[in-house]
Amino acid sequence: MKLEDAKILIGDDSILARKQLKDVLTTFGGKTFFEAANGQEAIEKFTAEKPDIIFLDIVMPQKDGISAVSEICKIDPNAYIIIVSSVGTQSQLKSAIEAGAKDFIQKPLNTEQIKSILSVKFEGR
Amino acid sequence: MYTQFFGNFLLSRGVVTSEQLIEAIKEESTTHIKLGTLAIHAGYMTASEADSIVIMQTHEDKRFGELAVQGGYMTEEQVNSLLKMQKPDYLLLGQILIEKGILTNTDFENLIVDYQSEYEIYDLDMATEKKEVVTNMLKNYCNFANHPEADKAIHYLYLLFNNLVRFIGEDFTALNPIPCPEYPTNYCISQQTYNDTLSITSAIDIDPNTAVAFASRYVDEPFEDFDEYVKASLEDFLNLHNGLYNVNLSNDFSLELNLNPPEIHHYDVLSLSSNAYLFPVIYPFGTVNFLFSF
């Protein structure tokens, strides 16, 4: 699959963070985006849209990113979730991976790191 | 100070899988750091020299330090200083990966160099002059000395000024901090980071015009109105700073803190602890008020 054809879900409580990630993904060819402002909304958007890749923040109101990863993976164990967070501590990284996340991006965003993560999942990147 | 946890760095480099990393992290609590690991990190020995000592240990019943001194690789003073130094967590993680055969000593030596050059925040973010001003300000005006967690508070504030230089710019003047148990807010974002023994609340209070200029510098986009993106930029700055602080405490002190989502206060009174200070920071575009309480 190519990123151009992928459904992309971005879950972050910050409208700015969502926009910044969307801008980076757009430069790599991303076209179809869904957004969620907290963990609960991310689960609902996941169920409704079945995105091919999900980017989730950890610290969010209502339901945090790690809980959302667990619930999404219960719905679909093959869900492809990347955590994007400023809190890349040892315990957060461990919890995210144990919950089922595939990778972890530490903010501020590093375009090269995003590119390399996309190349694992998508063709032609 | 680092801007990324070492384990995350290894993962993004593709040198460990997530399963290997988790296994290694789980073993940290039952593993002790070895002198060889410390000697490589301090630059006293190369990876191959440390390997040769380990081989010697297989047929000579002596401690690593003794053999290293005997071989002329280190002095006794150096061995003692290594044993006394604070041991960053990432060294232990590296050692476990070596013992599991996932990394060699040489891989680890090279990775540490890359990690430090890519993710260590050097003091160069702040000019020496400014560093002295900040250090003196914290020493002379913040009465943390008797607090058991004073070093963590100083670390926090030092990182805050460093992040201001890094993300907003160095052209600020920091006024002396003022004790401030209560604060009437303009537009204010606060956030708490905490565990059982430490709780830090920090806040940014700012007027709308200054906020627009602050956000424009932070995001590197020209904002004109005090809109949702500008407000989100303030939250993002505070959240990023607190996140980086938590990464540092995790990496350097093995201390894990929780971070609450940012909260907005608009024209109300923020009640802080008795150890609370207002740090007015004057930029050419306006004054940014930072509040710090622990």
Give yes or no for A13 touching B (CB within 8 A).
yes
How many A/B residue pairs have CB atoms within 8 Å? Answer: 90
From the list B194, B172, B191, the residue with the least C-alpha distance to B126 is B172
Distances (CA, A) of A112 to A105, B12, B13, B134, B286: 11, 10, 11, 34, 35
pLDDT (tens digit, 9 = 90+) per residue, B92-116? 888 999 989 999 988 988 898 888 8
- What is the ipTM for the molecules in this complex? 0.86
Any residues with CB less than 8 A from the CB of B111 and at least 6 apart, and which? Answer: B9, B10, B13, B15, B94, B103
> A59-80: buried (b, 16+ CB within 10 Å) or exposed (e) per residue?
bbeebbbbbbbbbbeeeeeebb
Cβ-based neighbour number of residue B9 at 10 Å: 22
Task: Compute the average pLDDT of residues A78-92.
Answer: 89
E strands, B37-186, are: 173-174, 178-179, 182-184
Q: How many CA atoms lie within 13 A of B272 on its CB side?
A: 26
pLDDT at B121: 62
Closest CA to B183 of B289, B29, B43: B289
Residue B292: the pLDDT is 93
The reply to whether residue B236 touches residue A14, judged by beta carbons under 8 angstroms, is yes
User: Which residue has tokens 């040769």?
Assistant: B52
**If interface means Cβ-Cβ distance under 8 Å, which residues of chain B face chain A?**
3-5, 7-8, 11-12, 18, 21-22, 25, 89, 219, 228-229, 232-233, 235-236, 239-240, 242-244, 246-247, 249-251, 254, 256-257, 259-261
For the beta sheet containing A103-106, the strands, ordered from the edge strand earlier in sequence to the opposite edge, are A32-36, A7-11, A53-56, A81-85, A103-106
Question: From CA B32, how far away is CA B250, in angstroms rounded?
Answer: 17
CA distance A16 to chain B (A): 6
- Write the DSSP symbol of residue A5: G
A57 neighbourhood in chain B, CB within 8 Å: none
Higher pLDDT, B142 or A52: A52
Reading the block at residue B117, the tokens are: 């050059």
Residue among A61, A87, A97 whose CB faces B18 most closely: A97
- CB burial of B34-68 (b: ≥16 within 10 Å; e: otherwise) equals bbbbbbbbeebbebebbbebeeeeeeeeeebbebb
Residue with tokens 């993004």: B12
Is residue A26 scored above 60 in pLDDT? yes
Spans in chain B with pLDDT lower than 50: 124
Answer whether A77 touches B (CB < 8 Å): no
Contact B232 A102 (CB under 8 A): no
Among A6-10, A67-71, B180-184, where is mean pLDDT lowest? Answer: B180-184
Whether B254 contacts B267, CB under 8 Å: no
Omega before residue B208 within 30° of 0, cis? no
10 Å CB burial of residue B175 (0-12, 13-18, 19+) is: middle
